[in-house]
Structure 1
Amino acid sequence: MNMKSILNQTLETLKEKGVCADNLRKVTAPSELITQLISTLANLSGDYKGSYSPAPDYQGLLRQFNALQQLNVSFGKQLTFYREKAKQDRDNPAELKRLQDEVNSERGANEQLTAENERLRAERLEADAETERLKALVLTLGGNPEAWERNALCFDISANDMLRIIDAPCMIIKRGNVQFKVLEMLTLTLVGDNLSALGVDYNTGQVISRGVVHKANGDMVASVPATHISTLFRNMKGEETVNVRCDQDRNRLIIRTGKNAYNIPLCMDTIPVVDESDLTAKYSITFPANMLHRTLQRVMHSAGKNDVRHYMNGVFLSLDKNTFNAVATDGHRMSVMTQDVLFTNEPQEEIVTPVAPASLSGTSSGVILPIEVCPILMKLLGANQGNFRIDYSESYLTFNLGDVTLVSNLINGSYPDWHRVAGVVKHNTEKFSINALVLRDALSRALPLINAGAVSKNANSTGVFVFKSNALMIKSPNQNLIECKEVLDIEKVAGEQEDKIEIGINCEYLLRALNSLISHSDEETEITVALKDTVTGLEIGFGDDCCDIIMPVSLADLQDLIGTLSPESISADELHDDTNTMMMTGFDGKAHNIGLGSLGAIDSRILHASLGVFTESAEICKALVNTIEGQSLDLVNLSEEFGDLNWYSLGVFPSASGIHYGRILETNIVKLAVRYPEKFEAFLAHDENRNLVEERKALVNGIK
């Protein structure tokens, strides 16, 4: 086969791969074989017109590199072709030698191509390094390196402006959320020059804050750990220009200032947000910002925290005919703040009271705001002046505070009838006028000593208050290890002048109430304390719009408790004789000196039933703890444990005691009817408000 035939075959092979002379016109190589091949291809195919020259630019070099790789593959196929021809012509030594020489020549050409490939690769790496060097140079000169990437999503902003945008959403985000890491994220949304930040909490709600940026390029949505970005910008205070870029290819938020750069990983999970359709307002009320701030400050200290009665873990906000009320209670104390409402459909510029639509006049409605929202709302209200709007929807309250919007969850449930409790204390006959500042200072001195000298947690914070016509004495209980006494001048403004009232009061509750009243009262410091007896609530009032009610502590029960725990009531022998007795703390909070032999006085089956209920209850609690720690709720296990508990309580105990379980249940219903004559009231569930004598009579009569 002559050279022309081989070249024709080579041409066909190259054309099959899409390679022609025009594609190879810019291949740079010293090999004469490549030059000859290009010329031959041009002469045979006639598809190339022009002269061969190396590529002058970077992109051209890349095209040459790819073309050389294709040519290398083509030469490999040629070698295979030559080998097959050699097998066919092995009987012709001369032809075989000629083909072998051509193969060696092609091998040399391939080696040259490999060297050329390495050279082009090195040039490409060098060009990449030069690009990075030029970017660094631009940074050094104070320029914007994102100009190298025209499609980058980025913006400029000062550190202080960024903090103003992200601070409010970061307040609601809880750190260390092991189960839901997505709730630790802050979501940044850029649309045009407008930047918004979103923080979410399942139990509380969400906060959205808005601001304006500079040199924005493209829209973006990026979620990053709130702690990381908040800490970073707090340490950048004073920086006038901070560049923020979203690198979607690497899932990073890149923050640059000066010569410094920080890469924060993006969260790719979906952030749970409240659906816009759920925020459709049924009605709206406009408030002065400072008024609602003072209202929450007055009442929130009385709200329950982690109370099993979930509806008490919040502040009750209500429209009651023509007044706006804010109420908080944990069952032991209650704070109330009222304000007149202006009902009108006319726009109002400067307002001093809440303004509601005229259609709401004379109506009554209320919602329970979670206590976790209140500190956040207080900070936002403290930073705002003027008016703001609250939108009431089915399940949310939306506070529109200028550039910040707080969407709060609402607590489902019926709030206690606070009007009934407030109505009871309105009949208190003994009223005293006291200087709030003097009383607060006295409690601040006495409370630490009362707590330090208490012999039981149940006696903590309890002080004895002795009211006379012109003096108030505050002292620690008689059995406290530390004695203290404060005497204050007061004025009796109503009641019997000669009566003396001695009452137990939780000093911590009273101190918190005084602090909130003083902060609310501005300049005036005189308060009114109204009481009736040792069981009716104590009313602390300032004016007609706000008051606190604190339930008294039974000094008789306290005396009995302290007497039981008093070191003098336990002999040295009883304390140290571990063989015959042991000290145990009962569920009533009292310490009991139990002789081990006394267990024999208890019917073994009743003891068995009692301990069985205890152990099965512990198993139920363990299953719930496992669920709280992240495991799925095991209903099969819970059903088993409840079944075991019922066997002990409805099987073993009735059999051992001779009291049918049906009678036990009926008697309990009668007892509850004594405790709640009309309906359930949380206020009546506390021991100090129960008629324990009548309840006991009901139990005795039912069991007979």
Structure 2
Amino acid sequence: MKFSIERADLVKAVAQAGSVVERRHTIPILANVQIEATESGVSFRGTDLDTEVVDRTAAHVERPGATTVSAQMLNEIARKLPDGSLVTLSVDGGSDRLAVQAGRSNFALATLPTEDFPVMANAEYSANFSAPAPVLRRLFDKSKFAISNEETRYYLNGVYLHVAQAEDGQVLRCVATDGHRLARIDAPLPEGAGDMPGIIVPKKTVAELRKLLDDDEAQIAVSVSDTKVRFATPTLTLTSKVIDGTFPDYTRVIPSGNSRKMEVDASDFARAVDRVATVSSEKTRAVKLALELDRVVLSVNAPDAGTAEEELAVAYGDEAMEIGFNAKYLQEIAAQIDRENAVFLFNGSGDAALIREGSDLSAVYVVMPMRV
């Protein structure tokens, strides 16, 4: 194998493929990336057995071939080479070393046999469709903050991607919850997605997926089966196992009878929550909302640190009430709201609150109250 590649392309490809590689692993080859050179270009593949990333890039290939090499080592070398340099990577027949040469720099890196490298088997995908990158980015970005980190409820450790029935027809929906807050985000149903099985996309995969979704012009090819999901662009493919579990019936925790409505500027509200929460030694400290006619008073009482209070003008015309929430949860939800105003719908001080982005029903958030 022998090929030449621009240093910037090498850095990007190794970083992309190596992003899923676990640094500490009992199987040595899982610390490596697989490099495969063909007449059409070069691919870099990394895996942790649950997730696989393949980055394809252009290169001048003199001799096709394949090998595997330490992802961390190759990444470090590529990053330290001079900007604009042309890098030649080669393995001579019978050699167990990958030669990396750029200008006057020469490296010889240990390799492992490519036939030992685990490649994720192609599944029979029951649904195949494509969606614009901004649509998928919105679905996952707005829901991922509510993913649970509690390993005992492993089925909450991801985003539930499925087809759902909304008021005006079927939608592609992402839901995440940790039992304390919930995010439900809808998008128009892409053609071909109607028969898609509901899947739970793991948290690590959601983080890796973000790299495919930065290009606003990109169309993402999505393939789904009961056990795997694949997201692909012409140059990058992310394949992942899905979480083997049943996502709970989230519709039961989304309140439908909350009638007390408060409308507030989302950014003003987020900043006010942040300010009053400053006196709390823990971000989990409850912030109390005291609602009266067209105003809300936010307050925190931390006996070991002090107290804080701030008043905001809001649109509120129902009877006065007090309710407490985790300050961090309120800030995270407010950060998701793109529209100017956030709409809070309350029932009572002991009931979950529903939060919307203005009149937009495609993004709904639920947060459980705290005792104050």
In the alignment, structure 1 residue 534 sits paired with structure 2 residue 349: yes
Counterpart Cα distance in 2 of 1:265 and 1:168? 21
Identity %: 20
2:25 is equivalent to residue 201 of structure 1: no
Q: Which residue number in structure 1 is paired with residue 272 of structure 2?
A: 442
Give the residue type in structure 2 aligned to 1:226: A
- Structure 2 unaligned spans of 5+: none
Cα–Cα, structure 1 residues 365 and 242, in superposed 2: closer, same or farther, change >3 Å? closer
Instruction: Check 1:190–1:326 CA distance in 2 against 1; reply closer, same or farther (3 A cut).
Output: same
Question: Partners of 2:146 and 2:82 in 1: how far apart?
Answer: 38
Q: What aligned pairs does 1:499-538 form with structure 2 within 5 A after superposition?
A: 499-517=319-337, 521=338, 524-538=339-353
1:272 to 118, 121, 135: 118
Deviations 1:390-418 (A, max 9, x none): 01123110111221110011001111111
Instruction: Please name the residue that 2:154 is paired with.
Output: 310
What does residue 567 of structure 1 align with? none
Deviation at 1:226, TM superposition (A): 0.7
Per-residue CA deviations over 1:422-474 (Å, capped at 9, x if unaligned) read 2xx22101111000010111122222322x2x6xxxx9332111111211111
Give how far 1:364 is off. 7.5
* Residue 464 of structure 1 pairs with residue 288 of structure 2: yes
Task: Give me the whole-angstrom Cα distance separating, in 2, the residues matched to 1:182 and 1:448.
Answer: 47
TM-score, normalising length: structure 2: 0.93
Q: Find out whether 1:552 has 2:372 as its counterpart.
A: no
Aligned to 2:236: 404
Q: Which residue of 2 aligns with 1:356?
A: 192
Partner of 1:475: 299
Question: How far did residue 305 of structure 1 move?
Answer: 1.4
Distance in 1 of aligned mates of 2:274 and 2:44: 42
Report Cα offsets for 1:270-307 as digits up to 9, x if no partner: 2222112xx22211121111111111110100011143
Secondary structure class of the residue paired with 1:155: strand
**Counterpart selection for 1:333 from 168, 171, 181:** 181
Q: Is the 8 A contact 2:273 2:287 kept in 1?
A: no
Mapped partners of 1:302, 1:478: distance in 2: 26
The alignment's TM-score, normalised by the length of structure 1, stands at: 0.50
Which residue of the partner structure matches residue 293 of structure 1? 137
Match for residue 368 of structure 1 among 192, 197, 200: 200
User: Separation in 1 of the partners of 2:340 and 2:197?
Assistant: 33
Tell me the residue number matched to 1:137: none
Are 1:282 and 2:97 matched, yes or no?
no
Deviation at 1:250, TM superposition (A): 3.7
1:210 matched to which residue of 2? 56
Partner SS state of residue 416, structure 1: coil
CA RMSD of aligned residues (A): 1.9
Other-structure match for 1:484: 308
* SS of residue paired to 1:292: helix
Counterpart of 2:96 (choices 251, 268, 287) is: 251
Q: Point out where structure 1 has 5 or more consecutive residues left out of the alignment.
A: 1-152, 342-353, 556-704
Equivalent in 85, 89, 98 of residue 240 of structure 1: 85
**Does structure 1 conserve the Cα–Cα contact (< 8 Å) formed by 2:182 and 2:367?**
yes
3-state SS of paired residue (1:544): strand
Judging changes above 3 Å, is the alpha-carbon distance between structure 1 residues 536 and 468 closer, same or farther for their aligned structure 2 residues?
Answer: same
Higher strand share: 2
Asked if 1:323 corresponds to 2:171, the answer is yes
Q: How far apart, CA to CA, are the structure 2 residues paired with 1:471 and 1:304?
A: 33
The residue type equivalent to 2:26 in the other structure is Q
8 A contact 2:284–2:328 mirrored in 1? no
Q: Could you say which residue in structure 2 is the equivalent of 1:7? A: none
Residues 229 and 241, structure 2, Cα contact 8 Å, conserved in 1? yes
Is the 8 Å Cα contact of residues 160 and 237 (structure 1) preserved in structure 2? no
Q: Distance in 2 between matches of 1:328 and 1:237?
A: 43
> Secondary structure of the equivalent of 2:91?
strand
Match of 2:212 among 366, 369, 380: 380
Mapped partners of 1:232, 1:364: distance in 2: 42
Distance in 2 (CA, whole Å) between partners of 1:444 and 1:180 is 45
In 2, Cα distance between equivalents of 1:195 and 1:263: 19
Pairing 1:136-147 to 2, within 5 Å after superposition: none
Closer, same or farther in 2 for the Cα pair 1:501/1:181, shift >3 Å?
farther
SS in 2 for 1:183: helix
Question: What is the CA deviation profile of residues 290-336 of structure 1, one whole-angstrom value per residue up to 9, with x for unaligned ones?
Answer: 11111111010001114311100000001124111100000111001
Secondary structure of the 2:84 match is coil
What is the Cα deviation at residue 189 of structure 1?
0.6
Task: Confirm or deny: 8 A CA contact 2:133 2:215 kept in the other structure.
Answer: no
How has the CA–CA distance of structure 1 residues 478 and 470 changed in structure 2, closer, same or farther, with 3 Å as cutoff? Answer: farther
SS at match of 1:164: helix
3-state SS of paired residue (1:266): strand
Tell me how far apart the structure 2 counterparts of residues 385 and 392 of structure 1 sit (CA, whole Å): 22
Question: Is the counterpart of residue 191 in structure 1 residue 191 in structure 2?
Answer: no
Equivalents in 1 of 2:239, 2:119: separation in Å? Answer: 10
**Higher relative contact order structure (alpha carbons within 8 Å, sequence separation ≥ 6):** 2
Paired AA for residue 86 in structure 2: T
* Whole-angstrom distance in 2 between the partners of 1:394 and 1:547: 27
Question: AA paired with 2:236?
Answer: V
**Equivalent in 259, 266, 271 of residue 429 of structure 1:** 259
> Does structure 1 conserve the Cα–Cα contact (< 8 Å) formed by 2:132 and 2:216?
no
- Say whether the 8 Å CA contact 1:320–1:365 is kept in structure 2: no
CA distance in 1, matches of 2:153, 2:103: 54
Question: How far apart are 1:339 and its partner, in Å?
Answer: 1.8
Verify the 8 A CA contact 1:320 1:364 in the aligned structure 2: no
SS in 2 for 1:356: coil
What's the CA shift for 1:268?
Answer: 3.5
SS in 2 for 1:483: strand
**Residue aligned with 2:19, SS:** helix
Q: Is the 8 A contact 1:384 1:401 kept in 2?
A: no
Equivalent pair of 1:464/1:503 in contact (CA under 8 Å): yes
- Greater Rg by CA: 1
**Distance of 2:313 and 2:212 partners within structure 1:** 40
How far apart are 1:181 and its partner, in Å? 2.9
Farther-moved stretch of structure 1 (251-260 vs 216-225):
216-225
Count of matched residue positions in the alignment of Structure 1 and Structure 2? 365
Give the counterpart letter for 2:78 in structure 1.
F
